């Protein structure tokens, strides 16, 4: 087999299974399931998607399952009210953007890609659900590490959550998956998919798990809720800056998982990271955007200057009339006036390069100047004579 398909793979289970399937010579159906609970993909998702792409390139067929049904039910994980079930429109919209973003990595052609929605088969009669539910015991599901922990700690586990792995397994039945991919956290679910397939008299899928990419904090896995992610659709400047904030220790892993190669041996950490950031931006926005993002970063964060382009804000007032800056800041950056006042007190507000000491400033002193809050927020002021 092509050794490439196992590059970066953590588990390939059962051992030798993928090889046996590849040896048949027929194109394999390689499944990935995603719940469109959030519209945005981040770099962590691209690790698995990249592997799918390798399968496509090797002549296999990727079956991308959009979990519109599972997402609609909503993640039931305890915790009262915070996660309401996504509405139908939301899910549909997310599914669309999700696909569009996934196609930045996957090849979008009917021979090597099939996109399915699991509402197609999961919206099933009770009777069918019973059949599915009979395939697995409570003990089996409770073995899963996170359930086991919660169970032990007397934390709530809803029945619906227990059903989740089964539904995911049924997806494999419905699309007759030969292989299913997922992050290492999916190992249990992927393996359970085999049991479900067997119960339905189908050949069992091979299971491949891929490493979870650490987030920009270098410690926890990348996830939107932890805020340590670099989004596929983030603007170039954001992608570049977020990547540079990655701790040096995590750089090797990002190189391996995202670029498929180690950092240049001669390069300093600084340069290696800049290269990494540039390549990431280039992948999603093109090389020119990458160059521009780097220039922007140097200008704003290394040289501490205002960016070349920024939004403008009109301020009413003439001559020596005093303008209340907290109001302007609040308007421009969405702060409350109290927050803005505190910012000023803390020396976090500048006009051009001068720290603003007083909340009220003469109107004449504002026109054309750059109002800056902290390191990252800028706005150019334009004076307009009050009517």
Partner RNA sequence: GGCGGGAUUCCCGAGCGGUCAAAGGGGACGGACUGUAAAUCCGUUGGCUCAGCCUUCGAAGGUUCGAAUCCUUCUCCCGCCA
Are 21 and 179 in contact, with CB atoms under 8 Å apart? yes
Specify the stretch interacting with RNA by CB under 7 A; choose among 28-36, 188-196, 281-289, 329-337: 329-337
- The answer to whether 330 contacts RNA (rule: CB under 7 A) is yes
What is the SS3 assignment for 42? strand
Nearer to RNA by Cβ, of 89 and 152: the residue is: 152
Helix (H) or strand (E) holding 200: none
Question: Which of 342, 351, 365, 380 is in the footprint of RNA by CB under 7 A?
Answer: 342
Binders in 258-297 for RNA, by CB under 7 A: 269-270, 273, 297
Specify the stretch interacting with RNA by CB under 7 A; choose among 34-42, 137-145, 257-265, 336-344: 336-344
Binders in 189-228 for RNA, by CB under 7 A: 216-218, 227
Nearer to RNA by Cβ, of 199 and 351: the residue is: 351
What is the SS3 assignment for 165? helix
Kindly determine how many residues on this chain lie close enough to bind RNA according to the rule CB under 7 A.
47
DSSP 228-257: ---BTTS-HHHHHHHHHTS-GGGHHHHIII
- The answer to whether 39 contacts RNA (rule: CB under 7 A) is no
- The answer to whether 158 contacts RNA (rule: CB under 7 A) is yes
Sign, CA dihedral 209-45-107-33, equals: positive
Q: In the complex, what is the shortest distance from the CB of residue 247 to RNA, in angstroms, rounded to a whole number?
A: 4
Which distant-in-sequence residues (6+ apart) come within 8 Å of 338 by Cβ?
326
Find tokens 């421009």 and name the residue.
Answer: 332
Nearer to RNA by Cβ, of 207 and 222: the residue is: 222
DSSP 25-41: -SPPEEEEEE-TTSS--
Specify the stretch interacting with RNA by CB under 7 A; choose among 33-41, 79-87, 119-127, 195-203: 79-87
- The answer to whether 154 contacts RNA (rule: CB under 7 A) is yes
- The answer to whether 77 contacts RNA (rule: CB under 7 A) is no
Nearer to RNA by Cβ, of 109 and 159: the residue is: 159
Phi, psi angles (nearest 5°) of residue 119:
-65, -20
What is the rounded CA–CA span in Å between residue 172 and residue 194? 8
What is the SS3 assignment for 324? strand
Q: In the complex, what is the shortest distance from the CB of residue 350 to RNA, in angstroms, rounded to a whole number?
A: 7
What is the rounded CA–CA span in Å between residue 66 and residue 190? 16
Binding positions for RNA, rule: CB under 7 A: 78-81, 154-158, 216-218, 227, 237-238, 240-242, 244-248, 269-270, 273, 297, 301-302, 326-327, 330, 336-339, 341-343, 346-348, 373-377
């Amino acid at each position: 087999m092509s050794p490439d398909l196992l590059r970066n793979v953590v588990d390939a289970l059962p051992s030798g299974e993928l090889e046996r399937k590849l040896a048949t010579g027929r194109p394999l159906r390689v499944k990935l399931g995603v719940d469109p609970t959030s519209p945005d993909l981040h770099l962590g998702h691209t690790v698995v998607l990249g592997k799918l792409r390798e399968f496509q390139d090797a002549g296999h067929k990727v079956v991308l399952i959009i979990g519109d049904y599972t997402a609609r039910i909503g993640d039931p994980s305890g915790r009262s009210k915070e996660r309401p079930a996504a509405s139908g429109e939301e899910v549909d919209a997310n599914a669309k953007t999700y696909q569009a973003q996934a196609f930045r990595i996957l090849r979008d052609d009917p021979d090597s890609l099939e996109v399915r929605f699991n509402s197609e088969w999961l919206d099933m009669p009770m009777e069918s659900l019973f059949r599915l539910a009979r395939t697995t015991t409570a003990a089996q599901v409770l073995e899963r590490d996170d359930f086991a922990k919660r169970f032990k700690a007397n934390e709530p586990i809803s029945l619906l959550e227990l059903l989740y792995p089964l539904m995911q397994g049924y997806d494999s039945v419905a699309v007759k998956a030969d292989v299913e991919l997922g992050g290492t956290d999916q190992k249990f679910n992927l393996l359970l998919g085999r049991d479900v397939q067997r119960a339905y008299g189908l050949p069992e899928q091979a299971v491949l798990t891929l490493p979870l990419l650490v987030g920009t904090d270098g410690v926890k896995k990348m996830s939107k809720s932890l805020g340590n992610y670099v989004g596929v659709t983030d603007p170039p400047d954001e992608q570049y800056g977020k990547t540079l904030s990655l701790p040096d220790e995590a750089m090797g892993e990002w190189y391996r998982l995202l670029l498929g190669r180690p950092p240049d041996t001669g390069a300093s950490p600084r340069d290696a990271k800049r290269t990494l950031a540039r390549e990431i931006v280039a992948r999603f926005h093109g090389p020119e955007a990458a160059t521009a993002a780097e220039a922007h970063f140097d200008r704003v964060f290394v040289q501490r200057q205002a960016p070349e382009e920024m939004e403008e804000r009109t301020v009413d007032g003439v001559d020596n009339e005093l303008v209340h800056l907290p109001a302007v800041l609040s308007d421009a950056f969405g702060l409350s006036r109290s927050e803005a006042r505190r910012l000023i007190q803390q020396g976090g507000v500048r006009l051009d390069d001068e720290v603003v000491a007083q909340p009220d400033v003469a109107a004449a002193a504002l026109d054309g100047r750059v109002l800056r809050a902290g390191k990252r927020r800028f706005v150019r002021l334009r004076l307009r004579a009050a009517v």
